[in-house]
Each structure stands twice: as structure tokens, then as C-alpha cells.
Structure 1
Amino acid sequence: MKKGKEAMLTDSMNGFKEKKINYNDYEVSFRRWLISMIDSEKISIQEARNRFQLSPTEYKKIIKRWQERYSDELHLSLQAMSSKARADNKKLEQRIKELEKQLDLAQMKNVALNTMIDIAENDYKLEIRKKSGPKQ
């Protein structure tokens, strides 16, 4: 066969070899952060691959392995409170303070009434409280 222009093309991929990445070089804190971002859907797997230059052929396997190791069973994501939610929160805090004051007053009233009953039972020999058990 005659070797023409076709012979110029080679099967050699010297200039196109994929650079090997050592995924153990990534810190555990970075791995946890990345998996939490992916799990909370703040970043997609493809965005993570592009942004952090993960291997185009191995990135799914790497991320899956990291998810098995570092993913939390319970995913919590805190959202910023809206102004309405903050206003509702302040109203609830005020209501709690009012109820605490009412509770303090009720407790003081209870102590005063018990003290009054104790004095009446001791000084006037009255049986105001019901005796518990069979001694009635």
C-alpha cells in the first residue's frame, strides 16, 4: 500500500494523555464540604468536576466514594430568615416574656396561699388540706 497523507496520522496519543490525579491529596475537610454542597444541591456534580478539575472519566466514581464516606444521613440546610419571619420571631419572644411573668406571678400566688393555709392550720387548728390516704 502506498503511504500518503493517511500515513501522517498516527495512533500515538502522546500529547493527549490524561494527567493522573491523586485524590488522596484532597483534604478531608474539602471532601466533606464538597459532598455537603452536592447533597444540598448548591452545586451539581458536573459543576464540581469543572470547578475543581476532577478527572472527566473518574469523577462520578470518586464523588460516589466520597459520598459513601462523608455524606451525612441527615442533611440540614439553614435558610436566611425573611423580615416577616424575624418579626414573627420577635412577637413570639415577647409572648414568651409575658408568659414567664404570668408564671412568676402564679408561683408567688401559690406560695402565698400555701403559707396562708399553713398559718391557719397551725394558729387556728383548722384542717384545711385534705389528708391523703385512709386517715381521713
Structure 2
Amino acid sequence: MEKGKECMLTDQMSGFKKESINYNSYEISFRRWLISEIDADRMSIQEARDRFKLSPSEYKRILKRWQERYSDQLHLSLQAMSSKERSDNSKLDQRIKELEKKLELAQLKNVALNTMIDIAEKDYKLSIRKKSGPKQ
């Protein structure tokens, strides 16, 4: 072979290299949105993996960690209805509308607070959220 025309086998294998993905580079708002989509059953884990090209070997571990951090469990304190109120359909419809309005307001508040915390942590370098496990 002529000098300069030699090439290594590994030079031709660029399509076979395993790319390393830095999952910390994903925005927190994206992570929170993706987990909310999965939690609400609007997207499956496999759909998320395919759509956002998550690593086939690591996606379950990554999404599980994101769910632990960013999944929102909303707890509302609601008054119980009497049996007389339950039998009246108009009262049930009114109650449903009232609960939907409360839920929407609680979700908006939750998104606003999480966004505010994300901005404060990013812009002002504040550590607001509690770290899990031995990292405290």
C-alpha cells in the first residue's frame, strides 16, 4: 500500500460507534413536560424513547430517575358530598365543574411554582429543591 492511503478499520466504523448522550443537558422544563406527558398517558415510554432518540439501553433508568424528581402528585382536600346531593344530577354537574376549576387552578399554580424554582436555581445559582439520598 502507498503511504498516506493506509487507513485503519476503525476509521471506517463511524456508523457503529456508540454515541454517549448527556442527559443532564436536557432542559428541566423539557424533563418535567415529558414526565407529565408519560404520567397522563398521552405518551408511552417507548414513544418517548423513539421520538427523542433516547438510548435503548439507558432510557428506562433515565426516565425512572426523571419521574422520581419531576413527577407531580397533586393532593386536593375536598369536602364529601351527602347522599342527597349525589342523587341530584344537576348538583353532580355543578360539583364536577367546581372540581375541574379547582384542579385547573392547582395545576397552574404548580407549574408556576416549579418554573419559578427552576429559574431561581438556574439564574441565581440557588439550591432550593431538596437533594435525594446521600447527596444532601
Q: Which bracket does the TM-score occupy, shorter chain normalised?
A: 0.3 to 0.5
Q: Could you tell me the TM-score, scaled by structure 1's length?
A: 0.45
Tell which structure's C-alpha radius of gyration is larger.
1
TM-score, with structure 2 as normaliser: 0.45
